[in-house]
Amino acid sequence: MAKAKKSIYFCQNCGHEESKWLGQCPMCREWNTFVEEKVTVSKGTAAKNTVREAEVVTLSSVSTDQEDRMQTEIEELDRVLGGGVVPGSLVLVGGDPGIGKSTLLLQVCKRLSDQGRKVLYISGEESLKQIKLRANRMGTFSDHLLLLCETNLETIRQVIEREHPAVAVIDSIQTMYSEEVTAAPGSVSQVREATNTLMQIAKGLNITIFIVGHVTKEGTVAGPRVLEHMVDTVLYFEGDRHASYRILRGVKNRFGSTNEIGVFEMRETGLEEVPNPSEYMLNGRPEDASGSVVACSMEGTRPILMEIQALVCRSNFGMPRRTAAGTDYNRVNLLMAVLEKRVGLPLSNYDAYINIAGGIRMNEPAIDLGIVMAIVSSYKNQSISPGTIVFGEVGLSGEVRAVSMPEQRVAEARKLGFKTCIMPQVSKDMLKKIEGIEVIGVKSVNQAMNLI
């Protein structure tokens, strides 16, 4: 067949393609994200003999037995994956450069190879010596771990078909290229083709493949969002790479929940699990300081306690300044409007700075009452008892609404030594009696303020 080249414009943010350049992407509404790429198009139709017959089955004949999952022996990762690694799945691990993606996957390779499973680690960014230097900090690796430094997809396919490992790691997808695509490695066309090839290998040979995807600081390389609809599971590393902790969050999972998170701490020997993130987040909390409140948020089935800090001071300009770090900025403005209208606090002349200590980001409505109490505490310059924990959703009428799973939140607070829990009255009525902690129910923000 004759082949011709033509230009197609891809959105670097979402992967949408157009036949001409546009200033704004019609899908993701981002500006100046379209890039031109030359693609090869075959002229003519495919032969009829290439079409195979499809087999149809009845719904009752489909087995619902769960497939055996491979345990990575990293409990935080297994929880996010939904109980372990599913054979034949395609998992994307995304995040900024230097966040710890390669370190985590190398630790996964170590744990799985120690179980006697054949693991193939394919690197397109680092040499064998660089991988060896990182591996020396993690301990001794077994001979079941195989290394390959290659970026050609055709060569990688041959190696995987020959070795047939149980797990393969591609680090990273932006460095892989196919000779059938004329675009440069890292472009949207190459990333799509590489992911499609790896998906065929994973499903055809029943091999679990982990893909590392990252974006540059300038955002010029196609990001992993282009791949999210093609893979089975999407995991994202969050957190400042200059800080010691990392949060692994599942944003897509065909084999489990997307509400779970895993907390890790970066150490010299690699990423260490943080089995109790609440205690970790509350380390160094000041005592008898105004504007500091401990709240509780649920991430999947795990309650996480965090310190919410607020600093309210009189504004020197006509327009007060509002700043929110770790939570939704618009939500903070909404809560401050509720305090001014329903409670009568003159906050329109005050600057407000809200921060969730530790750099963690939480958007659950259950932390509304904690933000409100922190703002009131800072405004009145009255400290809240360090043994008190607060949670509840605040409505526009100033009412405190119920939250999900209050029993797990109270149990976590009691385990960490808190003596008093301020929560919605509706949730308290549904709560069983828990020894060792005093539970106080409130119906409105006014009742909660009177407890300070």
The tokens 């695509």 sit on which residue?
181
The answer to the question of whether 23 is labelled as a binding residue is no
In 324-385, which residue ranges form alpha helices assigned H by DSSP? 329-338, 368-380
H helix count then E strand count, the chain: 11, 21
N- to C-terminal Cα distance for the chain? Answer: 79
The answer to the question of whether 433 is labelled as a binding residue is no
CA distance 392 to 412: 16
CA distance 420 to 414: 9
Distances from the Cα of 319 to the Cα of 236, 243, 257, 342, angstroms:
37, 34, 43, 21
Quick one: DSSP state of residue 161? H
Largest CA distance in the chain: 80
Q: Which residues of 208-244 are buried (b: 16+ CB within 10 A; e: fewer)?
A: bbbbbbbbeeeeebbbbbbbbebbbbbbbbbbeeeee
Chain centroid to CA 180: 33
The residue ranges of DSSP E strands in 58-174, in sequence order, are 90-95, 119-123, 145-149, 167-171
Q: Which residues of 93-121 are buried (b: 16+ CB within 10 A; e: fewer)?
A: bbbbeebbbbbbbbbbbbbbbbeebbbbb
The answer to the question of whether 365 is labelled as a binding residue is no
- Looking only at the bridges linking them, the beta strands covering 350-356 and 322-325 are parallel
The answer to the question of whether 429 is labelled as a binding residue is no
Contact 93, 87 (CB under 8 A): no
The tokens 């599971």 sit on which residue?
233
CA distance 307 to 278: 10
The answer to the question of whether 97 is labelled as a binding residue is yes
Distances from the Cα of 99 to the Cα of 239, 271, 396, angstroms:
8, 11, 39
The answer to the question of whether 95 is labelled as a binding residue is yes
> What DSSP letter does each residue of 206-274 carry, written as one string?
T-EEEEEEE--TT--SPPGGGGTTTSSEEEEEES-TTSSEEEEEEEEETTS-SS-EEEEEEETTEEEE-
Quick one: DSSP state of residue 321? -
Q: Which two tokens stand for residue 304?
A: 């996480």
User: Amino acid letter at 150?
Assistant: E
Residue list, annotated binding site for ATP: 95-102
* Residues of each annotated binding site: 95-102
